[in-house]
Structures are given as C-alpha cells and as structure tokens.
C-alpha cells in the first residue's frame, strides 16, 4: 500500500524570492496523526499548500502514491482534503449548506447522497442548526467548524488542517480535539499551540526556516524544552496529555 503522503527533496520559493521550504523529506503513513509544529514563518502553511498541490515547487510530492501534477490533481483532491489557514478562503456560497455540499456535488454524487453527506458533516462539527445561514454571518469559531465540515463532506482519506484551533474558545477547542481524535483519517495538523498538538498527535515534525529540524514521537519532541525554546516554541502543559484519553 502506498504511503498517505510521500515528499522527497521538496523546495519552494515564493515569486518574491522568499525561500519557504528547503529540501523537505517527509513520509506519512495512513492513520497517522502528525502535528506540524514551528514558529511563525517556519513554512507550515506552505508545506500544507504543497501537499494539496496549491503551490508547486521542485522535488516530489506523492499522495496515496500519486504524484501531484495536472493530470492527477482532481483525483488527489478527492483523497486529500485541506482546511486552509483562513476559513473565509473556504466559504464562498450563499448558505452553509451550499458550501458543505459543494465538494460532494463536484465529485458527482447524487443529490440525496449529497444531502446525507452535508447533514452528517454539519452534525459532526455541531452546526446542524445552521445549514441555512450565510457563512459570512457565522462567528470566527463557527467558521472554523464550517470549513472543517466542507472537508468532512468529501470523506477524504487524508485531512490537513492549518491552525484549526485558531479563534476557538477553550470549550470549542476541546470539542475540536475530541472531534479530530474521533476521525479515522490520516491527519496533518499545523499548529503553534503545543497543548493542542500534544492532545492529538502521535508524531511531531518541527519545522523552522523552511527546514525539518526534528521528526519523531510527538511527546518526546515536544517535551524537549531546549529544542522547543530554541525554535520559539514552548512545552505543552502536563495536564493536556490526559485529553488524549477522552477519545
């Protein structure tokens, strides 16, 4: 079985010349929950964009064994769903229902099947009552949940999430942790919140200045206070690890 994500020798430079990623090698197994950690500007978002084929650099990116290129992109987008850093980039239809239905409709599902997918996804993120609401009228935390629903409705095997804990209050952050912990998908979660990462991830990849600094057991990496401080991060609170048992 091919790896969920396989990245070899990948580098990316933005058009203005900023080198965002240098020589990235990363292999993610199906079912893994990986936290992509690193300070602001480390390259986390760029790496997630590369995984979804939104930026194209040098080197190789394979999703489920398929190399990202024009021919494979449509197929890849059905197996990897990407929750972007800003939920507003993902919500553009008149109603929440339409936004969550957009992906499954695009995949060619029958209307009845689409309705079921939408209802399930909204139920899962706690927005079942809001289907008819205009997405731009949702609160920041609700937009975050809505963006996740637009991905869940496509039932991808792999989900990447960029700072999904942003703008969530503690209760909703814990709800999100429980929700993500309950998913069977391969998860790649970019975050600079170590408590959030510790509650979810089995593996951590520390990125700084576009390079992978450390890759391994999440607990081991995140409890290395020297390493974390050197890269502008902090160690998680001890008590957060108990959240792992909630799932």
Ligand X SMILES: Nc1ncnc2c1ncn2[C@@H]1O[C@H](COP(=O)(O)OP(=O)(O)OP(=O)(O)O)[C@@H](O)[C@H]1O
List of residues contacting ligand X (CB under 6 A):
14, 16, 18, 20, 38, 40-46, 192
Task: Give the phi and the psi of residue 97 in degrees, each rounded to 5.
Answer: -55, -50
- For the CB of residue 114, give the shortest distance to Mg ion in the complex, in Å: 31
- Picked from ligand X, Mg ion, none, the partner binding residue 245 (CB below 5 to 8 A depending on kind) is none
Residue number with the smallest Cβ distance to Mg ion: 45
Q: Which does 38 bind (CB under 5 to 8 A by kind): Mg ion, ligand X, none?
A: ligand X
Residue with tokens 């993610």: 28
CB of 106 to Mg ion, least distance (A): 26
Nearer to ligand X, 153 or 191 (CB): 191
Please name the helix (run of DSSP H) or strand (run of DSSP E) that holds residue 176, with its range, or none. helix 170-182
Would you give the binding string for Mg ion spanning residues 38-67, x where CB under 5 A is met? Answer: ------xx----------------------
Least distance in angstroms from the C-beta of 166 to ligand X = 9
**Minimal distance, residue 37 CB to Mg ion, in Å:** 11
Closest by CA position to 228, among listed 204, 244, 211, 210: 204
Instruction: Give the Cα separation of 51 and 40 in Å (integer).
Output: 19
Per partner kind, with CB cut-offs from 5 to 8 A, the member of Mg ion, ligand X, none near residue 46 is ligand X
- Gap between the Cα atoms of 67 and 155, Å rounded: 21
Residue 126 or 166: which CB sits closer to Mg ion? 166
Q: Is residue 89 exposed (0-12), middle (13-18) or buried (19+ Cβ within 10 Å)?
A: exposed
DSSP one-letter code for 8: E
Mapping DSSP to helix (H, G, I), strand (E, B) and coil, where does residue 32 land? coil
Of 48 and 101, the one with the shorter C-beta distance to Mg ion is 48
**Separation of alpha carbons 196 and 209, rounded Å:** 22
Q: Which residues of the shown chain bind Mg ion in the complex (CB under 5 A)?
A: 44-45
């Amino acid at each position: 079985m091919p790896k969920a994500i396989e990245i070899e020798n990948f580098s990316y430079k933005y058009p203005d010349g900023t080198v965002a990623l240098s020589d990235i090698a990363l292999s993610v197994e199906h079912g893994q929950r990986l936290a992509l950690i690193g300070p602001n500007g480390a390259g986390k978002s760029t790496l997630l964009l590369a995984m979804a084929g939104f930026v194209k650099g040098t080197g190789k990116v394979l999703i489920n064994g398929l190399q990202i290129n024009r021919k494979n992109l449509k197929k890849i987008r059905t197996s990897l769903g990407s929750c972007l850093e800003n939920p507003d980039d993902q919500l553009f239809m008149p109603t929440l229902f339409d936004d969550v239905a957009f992906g499954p409709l695009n995949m060619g599902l029958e209307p009845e099947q689409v309705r079921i997918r939408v209802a399930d996804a909204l139920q899962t993120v706690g927005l079942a009552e809001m289907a008819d609401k205009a997405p731009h009228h949702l609160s920041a935390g609700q937009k975050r949940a809505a963006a996740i629903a637009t991905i869940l409705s496509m039932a991808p095997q792999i989900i990447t999430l960029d700072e999904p804990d942003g703008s969530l209050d503690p209760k909703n952050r814990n709800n999100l942790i429980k929700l993500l912990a309950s998913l069977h998908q391969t998860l790649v979660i970019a975050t600079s919140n170590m408590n959030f990462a510790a509650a979810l991830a089995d593996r951590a990849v520390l990125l700084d200045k576009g390079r992978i600094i450390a890759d391994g057991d999440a607990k081991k990496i995140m409890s290395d206070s020297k390493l974390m401080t050197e890269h502008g991060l902090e160690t998680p609170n001890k008590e957060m690890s108990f959240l792992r048992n909630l799932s």
